[in-house]
Amino acid sequence: MRKNNIGWIVLGAVAIILLTSSIYILDETQQAIVTQFGKPVGQPRTSPGLHFKTPFIHKVQFFDRRYLEWDGDKNQVPTKDKKFIFVDTYARWEITDPLQFFIRLRDERSAQSRLDDILDGETRNAIASHELLDLVRSTNRDPEVTEDFMEEIEILEDINVGRAQIERIILEKANQRTTDLGVRILDFRFKRMNYVDEVRDRVYDRMISERNRIADQFRSEGQGEARKIEGNKERDLAQIQSEAFREAEEIKGRADAEATRIYASAYNKNRQSVDLYKFLRTMESFEKSMDDKTSLIISSDSEFFKYLNKLP
């Protein structure tokens, strides 16, 4: 009885092992092929769910159905105009034919290595075939002027291709080389571009020189404007002083005329007032022409002597 139980247990275990070895579950993010002794059998399995295979004979190779990432190494590449730049790139790709992918590449590690050769090579060819200006610009739009001094900057040269078109060229040529690999490159982009150290230092020196030139231009224009303002100030000051002097003289003249008119009117009205006027004018002359240190010699027929002789 015990032997029969053991036999059933063994048969059950064998059945379970056979059953688990004959089925496999395919996730919606996966695709697979079945191999027999290392060679593919049948068509690729792409539908998610439960699938069957021959136990112990067939083996399942799983591959990702999602978009995969390729990140290129930063390389030093010369452009058509002999300028060395560092280029960093990235791309997205997918496995379109698992069977062909397995036959040619086997796994994703080999695929990444193969893409390194293809994409890096096409990137070098494209960069070496175009000038730096085409690599850093995408359109021929005019630069936006945000400062007055930028209006004097020379208009940028027109580009023939542009960065976006170069990326498309690399993508197209790379896909032509991957058609028999069972993969398709979905997108390719330049992540970053930069000059090598030697060229970058020369570019910085040129930028500094350009900024110094603009600063010198500002200083020169400022000094010229300052001299212009100073000249206008001196001219306006002289004009104001001249007009003020002329107006003051006119006021004095009108005042003297008015005083003469008043004196003449007083003279016509009263003779005694005329004598008083003469006396006052004579005294004013004494006051203006003499002080305590002045010695005066006058004749006997002068007006000064006449008034002094009448003093008690």
- Secondary structure of the chain in the HEC alphabet? CHHHHHHHHHHHHHHHHHHHHHEEEECCCEEEEEEECCEEEEEEECCCEEEECCCCCEEEEEEECCCEEEECCCEEEECCCCCEEEEEEEEEEEECCHHHHHHHCCCHHHHHHHHHHHHHHHHHHHHHCCCHHHHHCCCCCCCCCCCHHHHHCCCCCCCCCCHHHHHHHHHHHHHHHHHHHCEEEEEEEEEEEEECHHHHHHHHHHHHHHHHHHHHHHHHHHHHHHHHHHHHHHHHHHHHHHHHHHHHHHHHHHHHHHHHHHHHHHHHHCHHHHHHHHHHHHHHHHHHHCCCCCCCCCCCCCHHHHHHHCCC
In this structure, the answer to whether residues 78 and 177 fall within a common structural domain is yes
In a domain, 171, yes or no: yes
- What local confidence, expressed as pLDDT, does residue 166 receive? 93
In a domain, 36, yes or no: yes
Last residue of a domain, one of 140, 162, 195: 195
Q: Which of 62-76, 144-158, 217-231 has the lowest mean pLDDT?
A: 144-158
Mean per-residue pLDDT for 35-42? 84
Other Cβ atoms less than 10 A from the Cβ of 98: the count is 23
In a domain, 214, yes or no: no
- What local confidence, expressed as pLDDT, does residue 188 receive? 95
Which is higher by pLDDT, 241 or 308? 241
In this structure, the answer to whether residues 78 and 133 fall within a common structural domain is yes
Q: Which residues contact 299 (CB under 8 A, 6 or more apart)?
A: 305
In a domain, 259, yes or no: no
- What local confidence, expressed as pLDDT, does residue 1 receive? 47
User: Residue 256: pLDDT band by 50, 70, 90 thresholds?
Assistant: confident
0.75 exceeded by pTM: no
User: Residue 217: pLDDT band by 50, 70, 90 thresholds?
Assistant: confident
pLDDT tens-place string over residues 50-75: 888 878 788 888 999 999 999 988 88
pLDDT tens-place string over residues 74-84: 888 888 888 88
In this structure, the answer to whether residues 47 and 144 fall within a common structural domain is no
In a domain, 101, yes or no: yes
**Full residue range of the structural domain in which residue 84 is found:** 68-195
**Number of domains observed in the structure of the chain:** 3
Last residue of a domain, one of 195, 215, 233: 195
Q: Report the CATH number that the domain containing residue 76 is assigned in CATH.
A: 3.30.479.30
In a domain, 172, yes or no: yes
Mean per-residue pLDDT for 224-246? 88
Q: Does residue 300 have a pLDDT over 80? A: no
CA–CA distance, 232 with 66 (Å, rounded to integer):
77
CA 22 to chain centre: 63
What is the chain's alpha carbon radius of gyration, rounded to the nearest angstrom? 54
Last residue of a domain, one of 142, 174, 195: 195
Among the ranges 29-43, 171-185, 230-244, which has the highest mean pLDDT value?
171-185
In this structure, the answer to whether residues 60 and 104 fall within a common structural domain is no
In a domain, 73, yes or no: yes
In a domain, 221, yes or no: no
Q: Which of 33-47, 85-99, 199-213 has the lowest mean pLDDT?
A: 199-213
In this structure, the answer to whether residues 57 and 73 fall within a common structural domain is no
Mean per-residue pLDDT for 42-52? 85
In this structure, the answer to whether residues 278 and 305 fall within a common structural domain is yes
Q: Does residue 209 have a pLDDT over 80? A: yes
In this structure, the answer to whether residues 99 and 179 fall within a common structural domain is yes
In this structure, the answer to whether residues 75 and 60 fall within a common structural domain is no
The answer to whether the CB of 39 falls within 8 A of the CB of 59 is no
In this structure, the answer to whether residues 74 and 174 fall within a common structural domain is yes
End-to-end Cα distance, the chain = 181
- What local confidence, expressed as pLDDT, does residue 111 receive? 93
